[in-house]
Amino acid sequence: MSRRNLELNEVKLRLALRVRYIKSEIRSAKWRILVLAAYAILCWIIWENKYDLLYNESEGAFAYFLYRLDCGALLTWIVVIMLILLRGFSAPLGADQIEKDLIRAGITNSAGEAPILVRKKQDRQNPRILIMEFASRGIPLSRWTERQEAIEGALNVHVDQIELSPKNCRHVILRVVSGDFAFPKRLLWTQDKLASDGFTLVLGETLTGSATIDLSCIPHILIGGSTGSGKSVLLKCLLMQALKKHAKVVIADFKGGVDFAPIWKEKCSMCFDEASLLPALTEIVEELDRRKQEFGEHGIPNIDSYNRLYNHSMPRIIFACDEIAELLDCSGLSKEDKAIIMKIEAKLATIARLGRAFGIHLILATQRPSAELINGQIRNNLDCRICGRADQVLSQIIIGNTSAAERIPKNAQGRFLLPDGTLFQGYIFDEKTELEGLEWTR
């Protein structure tokens, strides 16, 4: 295809997008309708009275100017001004510069063409968020996500979300926040942050609001991160919320409980070795079997339906382990000890497979969740993956990419990344203040 044809196609594409943009903006922006309507009325009045205006020989500079015009010139001016108005309405402010910035960020197709910005607006529900919609021009979504860091640098924004438009799969939507916004180094928990709906736990604060997880839908969590990344604090924050929602919490900590203040021992069941852990897990699995039989007899699909139907408050059960890899590592163990670990692993696998419907959940934290240490039945059911500060290998293991190594600063504490690219800051809290007064659910 000749260069001239390529340029012609480019003009046609941009014209079609601009016309579509004008239509949508006129429908959504009342002030644009008023401006265009006022101009149209003004043009009609002028045209209807053109002879009086053009051939009025009254004195005055303006009258003399109009007197010199003819109908053709008047029509030309009307059209030119209309085109200027339409050009102002046909593209978002700064569209050309944004498209040039994306070229510098490497967001181009095989022909070197940049995406075309067709819409830019503030989110009505959260004015901090700016929504930008692009005609992607054949650039796959994966390319956008791979170059997210470059996009942030080029546009001076923090990208909150990159997704395909639900109305047009050829369009990509960026939800961004100004680059001037920064995460706080310390984020204090307050009681009003506790989610009121169901069994939703608040993970932390994102660029645009709260990051949450509903254990009714996503029952198990894996938290990974290097030493000092804040994963133990995040684990305890989630457990604190679970206790406030009247869950029964069982904690395995083979470091002797040094990371847990004494009040945790009053509010939870804690296991410090394999000898006490295996009976605790056995009891949880027996409760799972009991609930399975009871739900089956009454034709009830899950714990939420059971509690609604019988106006009951059957508690959810949370099993948490602060370093699951250490627990399941059989290196150097005797045959008898390995047998105990295998039984523990089997109990965890049962909970991972079946726990969701019966309100039994795993929240596991580790520095090294390799396949050799956590078997497939457990790993495959840990649907919520959260990664703190990590190297590329650990980031790849936890969330399936190296983004945590690239996007979380080396000195950051309590900063975490979800697999979908959501970055959030976890809370810190006073353990004694938050747990005091809570009843232990037995």
**Residue from 405, 391, 245, 364 nearest 316 by CA:** 245
Q: What is the pLDDT of residue 369?
A: 59
Which residue in 193, 277, 281 sits closest to 237, CA to CA?
193
Q: Of the ranges 5-19, 194-208, 231-245, which one carries the lowest mean pLDDT score?
A: 5-19
Indicate the residue among 62, 90, 118 that finishes a domain: 90
Residue reference for tokens 């429908």: 27
Final residue of a domain: which of 178, 212, 245? 178
Phi, psi of 415 (to 5 degrees): -100, 130
Instruction: Please check whether residues 304 and 364 belong to one and the same domain.
Output: yes
Between residues 414 and 84, the one the model is more confident about:
414
| Confidence label for 203 from pLDDT (cuts 50, 70 and 90) | very high
**Residues of 350-384 as b/e, b for ≥16 C-beta within 10 angstroms?**
bbbebbbbbbbbbbbbbbbbeeebbbeebbebbeb
Strand, coil or helix: what is 5? helix
Residue 163: helix, strand or coil by DSSP?
A: strand
Token pair of 310 as six digits: 């019988």
Flag whether pLDDT at 223 surpasses 50: yes
Same domain, 76 and 118: no
Count CA within 13 A, CB hemisphere, residue 371: 5
3-state secondary structure of 199: coil
d(CA 396, CA 272): 30
Under the phi-then-psi rule, with left for phi > 0, alpha for psi from -120 to 50, and beta for the rest, what region is 280?
alpha
Residues 205 and 354 in one domain: yes
pLDDT-derived band of residue 122, with 50, 70 and 90 as boundaries?
confident
Q: Which of 195-209, 230-244, 389-403 is the most confident on average?
A: 230-244
Per-residue pLDDT for 6 more than 60?
Answer: no
**Residue 183 forms part of a structural domain:** no
270, 336: one domain? yes
pLDDT at 9: 63
Does residue 54 surpass a pLDDT of 60? no
For strands 360-366 and 317-321, give the pairing: parallel
Among residues 442, 427, 42, the alpha carbon closest in space to that of 233 is found at 427
Residues 139, 72 share a domain: no
186 inside domain:
no
Question: pLDDT digit string (tens) for 284-316?
Answer: 999 999 999 999 998 999 999 998 888 778 999
- Has this prediction a pTM greater than 0.75? no
Average pLDDT over residues 305-333: 85
Same domain, 255 and 362: yes
The predicted structure's pLDDT at residue 341: 87
pLDDT score for 63 = 53
Reported confidence tier of residue 420, pLDDT bands at 50, 70, 90: confident
Domain count, the chain: 3
pLDDT at 11: 59
Q: What is the rounded distance in angstroms from the CA atom of residue 206 to the CA atom of residue 128?
A: 12
Do 116 and 248 lie in a common domain?
no
**Short-list 220, 126, 268, 213, CA closest to 426:** 213
21 or 104: which leads in pLDDT: 104
The answer on 255 and 146 residing in a single domain is no
Q: How confident is the model at residue 281 (pLDDT cuts 50, 70, 90)?
A: very high
CATH of the domain at 239: 3.40.50.300
Mean pLDDT of the chain: 82
What is the per-residue pLDDT across 125-184, written as a single tens digit (0 to 9) for each?
Answer: 888 889 998 888 889 998 998 888 899 889 999 888 889 988 888 889 999 988 877 788
Same domain, 111 and 242: no
Distance CA 99, CA 138 (A): 15
Q: Are residues 391 and 331 in the same domain?
A: yes
CATH of the domain at 121: 3.30.980
Confidence bin at 27 (pLDDT 50/70/90): very low
- Alpha-carbon span 90 to 84, nearest angstrom: 10
| Percent of all residues in the chain with a pLDDT value above 90, rounded to a whole number | 30
Q: Is the pLDDT of residue 429 over 80?
A: yes
**Last residue within a domain, chosen from 63, 90, 117:** 90
Q: Note down the domain range covering 149.
A: 95-178
Percent of the chain with pLDDT over 70: 80
Is 389 found in the same domain as 263?
Answer: yes
The closest of 343, 366, 364, 342 to 352, measured between CA atoms, is 364
Same domain, 159 and 44: no
